[in-house]
Amino acid sequence: MAMANNKTQCFTCNKEKITYPCKGCSKEFCLMDLTEYQRILSDELNLITNEYNEFKQRINEQKQNPQNDLLIKQIDEWEAKSIAVIQQKAQQCRKIAMGYLPTFLNDIEKKFNDLSQQIKQIHHENESNEINLIYLRNQLIEITQELNNPSKIFIKEDSQSFINEISIISSRESKFNKWKQNAIVVAGGNGQGQQLNQLFFPYEIFIDKKKNIIIADYGNNRIVEWKYNAKEGQIIAGRNQIDQLYRPTGMIVDQQNHSIITAHFWDNQVIRWMNQNQQILIDNIDCSRLTMDKNGFFYVSDWARNEVRRWKMEEYNNEGVVVAGGNGKGNQLNQLNDPTSIFVDEDQSVYISDHDNNRVMKWRKDAKEGTIVAGGNGQGRNLNQLHYPEGLFVDDLGQIYVADCWNHRVMRWCEGKEDGEIVVGGNGEGNQLNQLNQLNHPSGLYFDDERNLYVADRDNHRIQKFEIVL
């Protein structure tokens, strides 16, 4: 009787032998090659285990000492390089200054010696008179002032940075920055009117911690509040009387002082409302919009003077300080043309919707001119253009959101990028109340604490809520 042939080809040596299957890969190995194969797998497992332990140790080290983090190291390197550039520039200026000073002092000394000779001559000739004395005193005052305040030598600071600026961009956070394209109507939406369930050209909005919506109801001459999920609003300023509150375009909700501050485009006033009582804060100003920073400073955009001014709270009796524009109407970097909405970030940089220049400008604190951070490529609907921008918001990542009013969309720009992107809208001018993916001249925008986006859909007389996509 012949023996059963149970030999198969070994995967490694390719010889016909008695083989054994590997449970992992299902390949057949002879006994010798299977042992070797298992040794190789064991070595690979040990290698992975060692790498795992090394990685675990790195995590523990970085927890104990965050300075070892690569991102922190890059920031430290930038800091060191920037300091070196500043020190080099300072040393250059010191050398130049030290070179100027001897010449400057020699000039002063020469003038002093000339004056000394004149005094000696008058003494010698004994012909002093009132005219001579006045002349001598004026000459002495002049050279003294020149010594104390050398007008020919001064420090000029350039607002343009000569070091490379850095910022932190997190792709982790930006991936959440998308919103459902069909909105929910959360206020108005019942046609143009003055009933409590209606709005008439809402310009500006504010969302509080409870998701209540405060609205500058321009056409109805009032400020209304819509409680969360309410079917109608309640008047909290104006009482619908024109002589009390006329055409509000801008609004600040000062929760700390339980008041509302409104800007009136046609009345040329900024008014504080507290318990239906009004106080005129600023008069005779062609105000468009307004905002407040974290330090309590108060900013107003003046469309006629083409500037933005800042006041310290409770000091409205002065003229304020110009923080942007103020150099006449124009499209140069130190000019504005009909500024509307403004936003102030943590560093007191001021962002402005430069309405008639179809761009958004950023003016750093104490800068003499701004930089274009959105639009600025003429009027149009391309992704690098805007058409009469209004509502404005800048998030913690420096991303700029702007209500592109006449393009009926909300755009987002990352500073330094040529093109923006459409966030919501951009589907044509919507004039039907059931078209929830369209906007009709959006003029204001705001985010709640959950990053849902609210838009004042002005010409549709409603407030739209676009829910964030998580």
Q: What is the pLDDT of residue 402?
A: 97
69 found inside a domain: no
**250 is in which domain, residue-wise?**
178-469
Pair type for strands 297-302 and 350-354: unpaired
Question: 47 and 149, same structural domain?
Answer: no
Which residues lie below 8 Å from residue 336, measured CB to CB, with a gap of 6+?
306, 307, 308, 324, 325, 329, 330, 352, 354, 357, 361
Q: Does 102 map to a domain?
A: yes
Q: Which CATH number belongs to the domain containing residue 218 in this structure?
A: 2.120.10.30
User: Residue 258 region, left (φ>0) first, then alpha (ψ -120 to 50), else beta?
Assistant: left
Render 305-330 in DSSP notation, one character per residue: TTEEEEEETT-TTS--EEEEE-S-BS
- What is residue 164's DSSP assignment? -
Same domain, 158 and 190: no
In a domain, 297, yes or no: yes
8 A C-beta contact, residue 289 and residue 341: yes
Residue 398 Cα to chain centre, angstroms: 5
Amino acid at 421: E
Would 389 be classed as within a structural domain?
Answer: yes
* 468 contacts 453 by C-beta, under 8 angstroms: yes
**3 lies in some domain:** no
- Listed residue (39, 31, 349, 2) closest to 167, CA to CA: 349
Indicate the pairing of strand 259-264 with strand 442-447. unpaired
* Secondary element (H or E) of residue 412: strand 409-414
User: Domain check: are 354 and 214 in the same one?
Assistant: yes
Smallest CA-to-CA distance from 403 within 419, 421, 391, 395 is with: 391
Strand boundaries in 189-286, DSSP class E: 202-207, 213-217, 222-226, 234-237, 248-254, 259-264, 269-274, 277-283
Identify the pLDDT of residue 323. Answer: 95
Q: Which whole-number Å values give the CA distances from 161 to 41, 85, 297, 311, in the listed order? A: 58, 11, 25, 27
Of 271, 351, 266, which is closest to residue 316 (Cα–Cα)?
271
Query: Has residue 214 been placed in a domain?
Result: yes
CB 312 within 8 A of CB 296: yes
pLDDT of residue 127: 64
pLDDT of residue 255: 79
pLDDT on residue 14:
87
Structural contact between residues 399 and 410, judged by C-beta atoms closer than 8 angstroms:
no
- Asked if 233 and 324 sit in the same domain, the reply is yes
Report the pLDDT value the prediction gives residue 107, as an integer from 0 to 100: 72
Residues 45 and 100 in one domain: no
The answer to whether residue 63 sits within a structural domain is no
Rounded distance, CA 205 to CA 391, Å?
A: 10
**In a shared domain, residues 212 and 133:** no
Tell me, yes or no, whether 22 and 128 share the same domain: no
The identity of residue 294, as a single letter, is K
Q: Which of 411, 420, 408 is nearest to 458 (CA)?
A: 408
Task: Find tokens 């509307």 and name the residue.
Answer: 340
φ, ψ at 408 (rounded to 5°): 55, 50
**Residues written for the chain:** 470
Other beta carbons less than 10 A from residue 236's beta carbon? 17
Instruction: Give the pLDDT of residue 21.
Output: 86
pLDDT of residue 15: 87
- Spans of the chain, pLDDT less than 50: 1-4, 171-176, 242
Three-state DSSP at 66 gives: helix
Q: Based on the domain organization, do 298 and 157 belong to the same domain? A: no
Would residue 2 count as lying in a domain?
Answer: no
Check whether residue 143 and residue 205 sit in a common domain: no
Residue 377 to residue 369: CA distance in whole angstroms: 18
Residue 160 and residue 185 share a domain = no
Q: 408 and 440: one domain?
A: yes
CA 85, CA 103: separation in Å to the nearest integer?
28
Tokens of 319: 């003229």
Q: Does one domain contain both 43 and 121?
A: no
Q: How far apart are CA 313 and CA 293, in angstroms?
A: 11
The number of domains in the chain is 3
> Cα(250)–Cα(301) distance, rounded to whole angstroms?
10
